């Protein structure tokens, strides 16, 4: 019962399907041209990624 409770109570399901800091950083490497900055928020459990907006076609005319 304890194993089932642990599995069902974790946000996002199994840990194998969740990001850790390294895998999330690797994901955002694909957005490096738009990545303005990244930082951990107080407590160190969550990380914020700030991206610059893409120019829309209307912006270039």
Q: What is the pLDDT along the chain (61 residues), one digit of tens a residue?
A: 677 766 666 665 555 677 889 999 999 999 999 999 999 999 988 999 999 998 777 666 5
pLDDT for residue 18: 76
The pTM of the whole model exceeds 0.75: no
The β-bridge partners of 37 are 50
Spatial separation of the C-alpha atoms in residues 55 and 25, rounded to whole Å: 24
Instruction: Give the C-alpha distances (Å, rounded to integers) separating 26 from 14, 17, 37, 40, 56.
Output: 20, 15, 14, 16, 26
């Amino acid at each position: 019962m304890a194993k089932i409770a642990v599995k069902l109570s974790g946000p996002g399901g199994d840990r194998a399907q969740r990001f850790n800091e390294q895998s999330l950083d690797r994901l955002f490497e694909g957005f490096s041209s738009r990545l303005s900055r990244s930082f951990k928020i107080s407590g160190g459990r969550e990380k914020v990624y700030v991206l610059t907006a893409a120019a829309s076609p209307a912006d270039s005319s």
